[in-house]
Amino acid sequence: MGKLVTLATYPYNRAQIAKMRLENEGIECVITNVNPIKGSFPAGAKLRVREEDIERAIPIITVINEEFAKARKQSELSKSKEELVFFAAFSFSRAQLIKGFLEAEGIECFMSNSNPISGALPGEVKISLRQEDLSEALQILSRIETEEESGRPGKYVINDIAVAVDFTEYGINAARYALELACEIGVGIRLFHCYYTPLIETTTLSDAYFESYVNIDKVQREIKETSEKKMETFVADILDYKKKRKIEDVKISYDCINGDPADQILGYVQENNLSLLIIGSSSHDRTTNRLFGSVTSYVAENATFPVMIIPPEATFDNGSDIKNVMYASRFDESDFVSVAKLMAVIQPLNASLHAIHLSNKDELIIDQARMDSFVAYFKKLYPHYNISYHLVEVTDAESDIDKYVQDAAIAVSSYTFHKQNIIGRFFNPDMQNKLLFHSKIPLLIFHG
């Protein structure tokens, strides 16, 4: 086989499962450090592959390790002292969907009669949960089934839109975009600006300290007053734009708040229970791979609510430009929650939804099976809505994404952001994240 390197160490039975998965992907491997009678030695069975296959094997073994960890956690929880009760039984794909919806509502649940590697065993998959959650879970299941039959988008309703304002040309562009979008959806907008005033601690009591304190207080007051005046001018400009565009039914309110912009933006949206944040951004610099500005990047990664980032090139001409919206699927539970939120935004626009998945050539078969399940679910949930589904085989991620956006006349791209640890980012890069770097159109980010 050539020079062998150790890829991972497992108990003997798990090493056999991992070996089967790797060989199904065309990667030849062997198991060493085993006793042919008793299985692996205490140190574990070593799974070894050829040195030239290590780069291909790492992403696969990363997924396998995640599946093993999830199965172990589920097993440990199932053995806990907390009493679990049977809730319902479904096909494997349906059980995954229901589990995702329940956990999105804060109800922890567990699947049994399934194999974490290959899917369901023969028969239906059982979902169990805690006794105290049973009543609420039944209500959620009833609501889901009712919504599926009626084709409604779910319980998600967009209320007022928050707009972060920084008085730059990007901020003006974002606010105008938000105003046009709010008009189409039928909600108001909340403009807010975060200004920062310096705080200096001084312990020496003297005339010099007193003078310094007075000067600092004066500086802080001037910063506050300047920010409020700029905000008033900014709002006047938006009102003038609103009048020119003959937009009548959008209520506009505004605030100026003191503090670090990144943290204050997150807090403001959450405290006011707003559904969507719109924020402007300068163009992405592909030469440095810098993702937007530092504040925009921080907010996009740490928000718990949808964030729409508006690049300088994006304009909204009374909704006429938004005819096609793209959602990049990962085929996990978070997709079903995110698409329900996305539909609440785009249905009033009568925009077509393009659900895509970026797939490598060696994953096309399994991705097609996942896509079929994805399609069946959303066609049942939205039977009268124009939704198309595409597997995009990626050979050159940058050009392929740009080409699809251009060919399909995509006006807004969207996806669900998942935080990854450093190891996960290095060994198993998320293809969907590449959308962040290749679009001159608004990007709508949900959070898994």
DSSP character string of 75-101:
HHHHTSSS-EEEEEEE-HHHHHHHHHH
Class of domain 4-76: alpha beta
Count Cβ atoms within 10 A of the Cβ of residue 428 and give its class: 0-12 exposed, 13-18 middle, 19 or more buried: middle
Report the alpha-carbon distance of residue 348 to residue 200 in Å, rounded. Answer: 50
Give the pLDDT mean for 141-162: 66
Task: Kindly tell me the burial class for residue 57, based on how many C-beta atoms sit within 10 Å of its own C-beta (0-12, 13-18, 19 or more).
Answer: buried
Nearest to 382 by CA among 152, 61, 45, 94: 152
Residue 332: per-residue pLDDT: 67
| pLDDT at site 174 | 92
Q: What is the pLDDT of residue 389?
A: 82
Let me know: does 314 contact 283? Beta carbons within 8 Å: no
Q: Which CATH architecture has domain 161-280?
A: 3-Layer(aba) Sandwich (3.40)
Residue 81 has pLDDT above 70, yes or no: no
Which range, of 57-71, 323-337, 355-369, averages the lowest pLDDT? Answer: 355-369
pTM here is 0.61
pLDDT at residue 347 tops 50: yes
CB-based contacts of 3, cutoff 8 Å, min separation 6: 50, 51
Q: Reduce the DSSP state of residue 338 to 3 states and report it.
A: helix
Q: Please tell me the distance from the alpha carbon of residue 244 to that of residue 232, in angstroms, as a whole number.
A: 18
Banded model confidence at residue 175, pLDDT cuts 50, 70, 90: very high
If one compares 64 and 217, the residue with the highest pLDDT of the two is: 64
Angle at 417 between CA 165 and CA 383, to 5 degrees: 100
Amino acid at 417: F
What is the residue extent of each domain of the chain?
A: 4-76, 82-150, 161-280, 322-447
Angstrom CA distances, 238 to 18, 163, 182, stand at: 59, 12, 13
Superfamily of domain 82-150: Hypothetical protein rpa1041 (3.30.70.1530)
Copy the structure tokens of residue 9.
């160490």
Q: How confident is the model at residue 390 (pLDDT cuts 50, 70, 90)?
A: confident
378-396: b (≥16 Cβ within 10 Å) or e = beebbeebebebebbebee
Strand duo 4-10 + 45-50: pairing: antiparallel
Q: Which residue has the higher pLDDT, 43 or 281?
A: 281
Mean pLDDT of 151-170: 76
Q: By the 8 A CB rule, do 415 and 150 touch? A: no
Name the residue among 434, 371, 437, 441 with its Cα closest to residue 409: 441
Shared fold status for 161-280 and 322-447: yes
User: What DSSP string runs through 116-177?
Assistant: TTTEEPSSPEEEEEEGGGHHHHHHHHHHHHHHHHHT---S----PEEEE--SSHHHHHHHHH
Is the model's pLDDT at 226 over the cut of 80? yes
Nearest to 448 by CA among 415, 413, 418, 414: 418
Q: At a CB cut-off of 8 Å and minimum separation 6, what does 202 contact?
A: 209, 212, 213
Return the CATH superfamily for domain 322-447: HUPs (3.40.50.620)
Q: What is the pLDDT of residue 421?
A: 41
Query: In this predicted structure, what is the pLDDT of residue 269?
Result: 92
With the CA atoms of 390, 396, 399 and 402 taken in that order, what torsion angle do they form, in degrees rounded to the nearest 10? 30
For the cut 90, the answer to whether the pLDDT of residue 235 exceeds it is yes
Q: What is the pLDDT of residues 255-305, one digit of tens each?
A: 999 888 888 999 999 899 898 999 988 654 443 344 456 788 888 888 989
Residue type, 107: I
Instruction: Give the residue from 320, 321, 279, 262 showing the smallest Cα distance to 172.
Output: 279
